[in-house]
């Protein structure tokens, strides 16, 4: 059984324990991580103003440089937290696929793919740690990248590691939500910010047969 673990730049501290727990249960683990806070911080340091459209960061050539550097730093930290079995992989170098979103610059919409480097690492008992850059290179939302990779490699599940217990709606922690309901709530403006791409990515994975969890919240087909 293979599980994709998506880790945010703000929640990378818990990745070591999460990977260990999954591997102890017999699962093979692939990690995909973001670096949102680190990218925004470095852009601010350089005087670059971030712009987002539907959760995707508008990415110029200058911003792409910041994205790559920030992802590399987080990748190194995540690999260190996991230990010697971690294998750092740059998504654009191993062949992650994405459809260009030209109005956003160097940005792609993730599509399912199965890079041989990921499959080989899993078969060897390693933990591939993948950055959300696609061929181009294109900057890809990390939640979408994790979902598309999970579908592409035929993972049994995808888990979104967050710094909150799960999905909250109307002040309550949601235990289970169907993909269609999740889409309707997003369309109706019930959520905003980073939970939106995460919830839609989980819903997309669930519709493709991949068991999806955001913290303690199960997202079902």
Topology of domain 2-172, per CATH? Carbamate kinase (3.40.1160)
What's the pTM value of the predicted model, to 2 decimals?
Answer: 0.95
Give me the residue spans of the domains in the chain: 2-172
Whole-number pLDDT of residue 14: 87
Name residue, tokens 């169907």: 178
In percent, the amount of the chain with pLDDT more than 70 equals: 99
How large is the average pLDDT for residues 66-78? 96
Could you give the CA distance from residue 142 to residue 135 in angstroms, rounded to a whole number?
A: 14
* Residues 207-213: contacts with CB under 8 Å, at least 24 apart: 207/179, 208/112, 208/151, 209/151, 210/4, 210/147, 210/150, 210/151, 210/155, 210/156, 210/157, 210/158, 211/156, 211/157, 211/158, 212/147, 212/157, 212/158, 212/159, 212/160, 213/157, 213/158, 213/159, 213/160
Could you give the CA distance from residue 92 to residue 134 in angstroms, rounded to a whole number?
A: 4
DSSP notation for 151-188: HHTT-SEEEEE-SSSS-EETTEE-SEEEHHHHHHHHHT
Hey, CA dihedral for 179, 183, 185, 186, is it positive or negative? positive
Does the N-terminal peptide bond of residue 215 adopt cis geometry, omega within 30 degrees of 0?
A: no
Q: Which of 9-13, 50-54, 179-183 has the lowest mean pLDDT?
A: 9-13
Could you give the CA distance from residue 80 to residue 164 in angstroms, rounded to a whole number?
A: 23
41 contact partners, CB below 8 Å, separation of at least 6: none
Whole-number pLDDT of residue 71: 97
How large is the average pLDDT for residues 56-63? 93
Whole-number pLDDT of residue 110: 96
Across the beta sheet with 107-110, the strand order is 98-100, 107-110, 138-140, 133-134
Question: pLDDT band at residue 10, thresholds of 50, 70 and 90?
Answer: confident
Does residue 35 contact residue 70 with C-beta atoms inside 8 Å?
A: yes
Using the predicted structure, report yes or no on whether residue 9 has a pLDDT greater than 90.
Answer: no
pLDDT digits (tens, 9 = 90+) for 106-131: 999 999 999 999 999 999 999 999 99
In 3D space, the residue among 201, 163, 164 whose CA is nearest the CA of residue 182 turns out to be: 201
How large is the average pLDDT for residues 31-54? 92
How large is the average pLDDT for residues 166-193? 94
Using the predicted structure, report yes or no on whether residue 38 has a pLDDT greater than 90.
Answer: yes
Whole-number pLDDT of residue 147: 98
Q: 98-100 and 107-110: which strand pairing?
A: antiparallel
3-class SS at 48?
A: coil
């Amino acid at each position: 059984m293979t599980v994709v673990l998506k880790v945010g730049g703000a929640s990378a501290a818990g990745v070591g324990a999460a990977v260990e727990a999954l591997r102890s249960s017999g699962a093979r683990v692939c990690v995909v991580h973001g670096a949102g806070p680190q990218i925004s911080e470095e852009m601010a340091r350089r005087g670059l103003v971030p712009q987002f459209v539907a959760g995707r960061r508008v990415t110029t050539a200058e911003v792409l440089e910041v994205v790559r550097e920030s992802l590399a730093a987080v990748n190194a930290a995540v690999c260190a937290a996991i230990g010697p079995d971690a294998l750092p992989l740059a998504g654009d170098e191993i062949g992650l696929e994405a459809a260009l979103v030209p109005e956003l610059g160097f940005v792609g919409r993730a599509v399912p793919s199965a890079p041989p480097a990921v499959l080989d690492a899993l078969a060897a008992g390693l933990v591939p740690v993948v950055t959300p850059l696609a061929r181009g290179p294109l900057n890809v939302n990390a939640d979408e990248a994790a979902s598309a990779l999970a579908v592409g490699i035929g993972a049994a599940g995808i888990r979104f590691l967050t710094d909150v217990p799960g999905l909250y709606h109307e002040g309550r922690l949601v235990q289970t939500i169907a993909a269609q309901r999740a889409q309707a709530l997003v369309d109706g403006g019930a959520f905003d910010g980073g939970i939106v791409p995460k919830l839609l990515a989980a819903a997309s994975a669930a519709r493709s047969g991949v068991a999806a969890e955001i913290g303690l919240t199960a997202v079902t087909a």
